[in-house]
């Protein structure tokens, strides 16, 4: 017997709110074993980004090779990559190890919560051309979807759906465009998949400036995908659809959104910073609360 296994390929964030640190916490909270390959080192805290050290492509590739040739992976999540060289190195690793990486999810991180650029223009083009076509699920926010397509940011659900379909046409089996920037009373995400299009709605948490929401959501999806793979067929777990149905991805994404919403809500009284002016963090420990 073994646990569901997930590899995260992402930035190392020093405050633990995002990047591979939040990914590993999310995997653990959802019952999956996490492995990691660091792509860059970010000096960051609740006030914002202070500096980035980009790792060479061969260093990133070496980490992926080491994990993929040994560990029994059920899913892989790709996050912030930073440079075209790293994007190309990751794409080459994916092509070589595709049958060993399990379900493949790409969260195309391009801009930080404070507006800092996290990838070069050349890197963004390489991301679109070399990596997007290889993945099973792409999870951009509205700004990232627009940047990948070279279009203005969507201003309506119809435009979000059009951009999601345009991204799906590049190669991914499914695309989830998160709609936090859209002016709605509730948060609406658009999921296009082989079975059609679904709008996923959730209540907004007012007055919260949260960092790490996108990486936590995509990590939660990857963890649930890993659990599906580990049990060898869809529907083995009661909370993830029924055997023989085609709605498992919708249910998985909805479940991940519930985890994220709970992690935001249950961090409301947390205080990890010396200042009250920065971004809030998430409570990834909610599944460990026995009270």
CATH code of the domain in which 199 resides: 3.40.1190.20
What is the pLDDT, as a whole number, of residue 229?
67
**Residues 94, 65 contacting (CB under 8 angstroms):** no
What is the pLDDT, as a whole number, of residue 235?
43
Q: Which residues contact 154 (CB under 8 A, 6 or more apart)?
A: 142, 145, 146, 160, 162, 163, 177, 182
**pLDDT confidence tier of residue 274, bands split at 50, 70 and 90:** low
Three-class SS state of 216 = helix
Answer yes or no: is pLDDT of 242 > 60.
no
Residue 212 belongs to domain spanning: 5-288
Total structural domains within the chain? 1
Residue 37 sits at the vertex; the CA angle it makes with 141 and 286, to the nearest 5 degrees, is 60
CA 190 to CA 175: how far, in whole Å? Answer: 8
More confident residue, 241 or 151: 151
CA 144 to CA 112: how far, in whole Å? Answer: 11
**Residues 113, 211 contacting (CB under 8 angstroms):** yes
Mean pLDDT of 244-272: 78
Helices (H), 206-247: 213-230
Mean pLDDT of 236-245: 44
CA atoms within 13 Å, Cβ hemisphere of 123? 22
Element (H, E) at 264: helix 248-265
155-174 per-position pLDDT tens digit: 999 999 999 999 999 999 99
Answer yes or no: is pLDDT of 102 > 60.
yes
Query: Residues of the chain with pLDDT > 90: what percent?
Result: 58
Q: What are phi and psi of 103, to 5 degrees?
A: -65, 135
As beta bridge partners, residue 77 has 8, 105
**pLDDT confidence tier of residue 240, bands split at 50, 70 and 90:** very low
Answer yes or no: is pLDDT of 34 > 90.
yes
What is the pLDDT, as a whole number, of residue 114?
63
Answer yes or no: is pLDDT of 183 > 70.
no
Q: For the chain, what is the mean pLDDT?
A: 86
End-to-end CA, the chain: 30
What is the pLDDT, as a whole number, of residue 283?
82
What is the pLDDT, as a whole number, of residue 247?
55
């Amino acid at each position: 017997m073994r646990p569901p296994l997930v590899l995260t390929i992402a930035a190392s964030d020093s405050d633990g709110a995002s990047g591979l640190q939040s990914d590993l916490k999310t995997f653990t909270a959802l019952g999956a074993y996490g492995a990691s390959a660091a792509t860059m080192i970010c000096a960051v805290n609740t006030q914002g980004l202070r500096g980035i050290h980009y790792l060479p492509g061969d260093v990133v590739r070496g980490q992926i090779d080491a994990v993929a040739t040994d560990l029994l992976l059920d899913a892989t999540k790709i996050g912030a990559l930073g440079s075209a060289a790293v994007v190309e190195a990751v794409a080459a690793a994916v092509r070589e190890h595709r049958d060993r990486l399990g379900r493949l999810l790409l969260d195309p991180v391009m801009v930080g919560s404070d507006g800092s650029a996290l990838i070069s223009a050349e890197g963004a083009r390489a991301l679109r051309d070399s990596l997007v076509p290889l993945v099973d699920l792409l999870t951009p926010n509205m700004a990232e979807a627009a940047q990948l397509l070279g279009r203005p940011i969507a201003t309506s659900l119809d435009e979000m759906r059009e951009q999601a379909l345009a991204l799906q046409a590049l190669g991914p089996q499914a695309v989830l465009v998160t709609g936090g920037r859209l002016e709605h009373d509730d948060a609406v995400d658009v999921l296009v998949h082989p079975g059609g299009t679904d709008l996923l709605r959730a209540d907004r948490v007012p007055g919260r400036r949260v960092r790490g929401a996108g990486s936590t959501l995509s990590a939660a999806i990857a963890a649930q995908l890993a659990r599906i793979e580990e049990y060898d067929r869809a529907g083995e777990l009661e909370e993830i659809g029924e055997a023989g149905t085609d709605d498992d991805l919708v249910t998985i994404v909805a479940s991940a959104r519930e985890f994220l919403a709970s992690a935001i809500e249950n961090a409301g009284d947390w205080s990890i910073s010396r200042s009250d002016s920065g971004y809030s963090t998430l409570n990834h420990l909610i599944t460990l609360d026995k009270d």
